[in-house]
Every structure is written in structure tokens, then in C-alpha cells.
Structure 1
Amino acid sequence: MTTYKQLNIPCHGYHIDEDKQADQLMKILVEHRPDMLVLTGHDGLVKGAKDYKDINSYHNSRHFIKSVKVARTFEKSLDDLIIFAGACQSHYEALLGAGANFASSPKRVLIHAYDPVFVMEKIAYTSIYDPIALKDVISGTITGFDGVGGLETRGKYRLGVPKSPYW
């Protein structure tokens, strides 16, 4: 939260256990009406798991997927609500399939806590007229393409002129 504030990105943060996020998300979305959403926490492969396609091989991916689906019932447009979902070793393909714009972890690696922050920073400061170059946004993360992937997405920045001397 401190880093988002340092980057001058307005935000609200909630600490909600992964298995409870989906149940509480709609109330939060209605209250704040965000245009960017990060759904993260902890995840990982269950010890001994060998089938990376099986959702039961992951500790919390199913909870992130459920939350993404809730968010997409609130806002279906991939451009109006940008979602980053997942955590370390999450089921990347299922998160994108559920409606996330960006997700972790394509190579099932541990991601860095700042990876979602750097993705959201790029979105926040890219013009609404410009598509985000996936290569640029993902190479700007700490874990890179092994830890983060996504879909073509537009920026959220709107330039307003002139600037008021009173603001």
C-alpha cells in the first residue's frame, strides 16, 4: 500500500484470506467502483502435485479464480476493470480464462510482492488511447515472463489541461 501511495496511485487495501475474498469482493467493488483490481495473497503447488492443469494441485488458485469471476460479473469489460490475479505458483491459464487481464505464474515460479504493483503502475500511467505493450509491462516486473503474463490491455491515464493552480 505504501508503494502505491508513493507512486501516487489512489488505492484501498484489504487483508482478506484467499478463501473469503470472493464472498467479500462484490461489496468492496460496489463501494469503491475501481477501474483496477489486484487479487493476490499466497498460493503454491500442493506437495507432490504433478498435474499442473488440475486446479486441485494448487492451494489457493481456485479461490482467486472465483474472485475474478465475481469481479467480472460486476464489470465484464476487460478495459473498464483491469484485474491482476494470482500469487506464487498460481494456475496462470485458469486465472486468465476466468477473466483476469494479468496473472501469475506462467512457469509456476515464486513471484515478487512488487510484481503486481509494477504492472498496475504501468497501466495507471499509460494513456487510455494506448495499448500496453505486454513486453514492456512484463519485462518491468522482477520475475519477468516466468512469473507474470497477460492479455493486451489499454492504459488508464487521462490527461487533463490546463492544470488548476489551486489543486
Structure 2
Amino acid sequence: MNVEATGYWVSEEDQPEKVVELLEKNPADILILTGHDGFLKRKSDFSNLDNYRTSRYFVEAVKKIRRIIPSKDTLVIFAGACQSHYEAILKAGANFASSPMRALIHALDPVFVAEKVAHTPISEIIPLEELTADTITGAKGIGGIETKGRLRMAYPQSPY
């Protein structure tokens, strides 16, 4: 996909404690926080963060990052996993999140979002309908807010 990336496996529970340190070690302009999540059985209140397996950790991690990098144009964050509390993650400061309809998302959906962000010029807002159409799960699994792309072009190109 022609996007430079560094990846770490960090359990959902540990993400709030480790994400700032890892981001300081590896500065980035796109960050994906994902893992596993789910709406708990025998629960009915989709607005209660306590009714999700790990959404609270995605929310906490995003909040910690936004205290340091508040601009949604400086650092683009995708956070969440299958059936995550979409609204809480966006409210915490993520640009993109899962899962608006509490759907199971595909493991590659966050990757496709990052690819779209990386290849859209910084002068353009990423069309949300186009972004979700480029994922496997679509708008029932992925959504977000208006966000500028991260691609910066140079002119002229050096022959060296």
C-alpha cells in the first residue's frame, strides 16, 4: 500500500498506559488503536460504556493522546474494534472509529482507512462516504468525522 508503518502488539487494557510512550518513540501522523471488543451479552443499553468488553480502553487511550496532540489535523486517529462504542470513541477525540451499527468489522478495515488518509492530499477533506465504501464492512462498521488527508506533495521532483 506504499505506507510506512510501525506496529506494536499491546493488549487493549494496556493501550492507555503505553500509547503515549510509543508515539513519542515513533512519531506518526496516523495512529490505529485496535484489538478486540464486543457488546456484552444480556445487556441492552448501547450508550453505556460499561456494557462493552474493551471500548473503555480505546476511549482512555484516545483521551490521553489528545491531551498531548489535540489537533485532529496533526494526528489522525482510528480507534475501536468489533462492536465498539463508536460515539464514545469519537467524543474522546478519534477521527475515525468503529462500530456505528455495533457490527463485526474486518481486520483490514482500519488498514484501508489509514491507506485512504495517507494517500489523500493534505489540502483535501476525505469524503466519508468514499472512505467507508473502500472498507470491507462499510458504513455499518466504520465511520468518522471530516478529516484532511496527510499526503504532502513536493515540486519539483529531484532526479536524484
Q: What one-letter code is carried by the residue in structure 2 that aligns with 1:37?
A: L
Q: CA RMSD in A?
A: 0.8
Report what 1:4 is aligned to: none
Q: Which runs of 5+ in 1 are unaligned?
A: 1-6
Which of 97, 115, 132 matches 2:126? 132
Q: What one-letter code is carried by the residue in structure 2 that aligns with 1:46?
A: L
User: Among the aligned pairs, what percent are the same residue?
Assistant: 50
User: What TM-score comes out, normalization by structure 1 length?
Assistant: 0.93
Q: Deviations over 1:114-160 (max 9, x none)?
A: 11111111110111101111111111111111000100000000111
Report what 1:33 is aligned to: 27
Q: Deviations over 1:15-42 (max 9, x none)?
A: 0100001101111111112111000000
Report what 1:3 is aligned to: none
User: What TM-score comes out, normalization by structure 2 length?
Assistant: 0.97
Divergent runs of 4+, >4 A: none
Report what 2:80 is aligned to: 86
Q: Which runs of 5+ in 2 are unaligned?
A: none
Counterpart-to-counterpart distance in 2, 1:44 and 1:54: 13
Q: Deviation at 1:48?
A: 1.2
Q: What one-letter code is carried by the residue in structure 1 that aligns with 2:129?
A: K
Q: What one-letter code is carried by the residue in structure 2 that aligns with 1:16?
A: V
Match of 1:64, SS state, is helix
Q: Deviations over 1:55-78 (max 9, x none)?
A: 111000000000001111121001
Q: Deviation at 1:163?
A: 2.6
Q: Deviation at 1:106?
A: 0.4
Q: How many residues align?
A: 160
Counterpart-to-counterpart distance in 2, 1:164 and 1:22: 42
Report what 2:50 is aligned to: 56
Q: What one-letter code is carried by the residue in structure 2 that aligns with 1:162?
A: P
Q: What one-letter code is carried by the residue in structure 2 that aligns with 1:18?
A: E
Counterpart-to-counterpart distance in 2, 1:115 and 1:39: 12
Spell out the pairing of 1:69-108 with structure 2 (5 A cutoff): 69-108=63-102
Say whether the 8 Å CA contact 1:29–1:74 is kept in structure 2.
no
Q: What one-letter code is carried by the residue in structure 2 that aligns with 1:70?
A: K
Counterpart-to-counterpart distance in 2, 1:100 and 1:125: 19
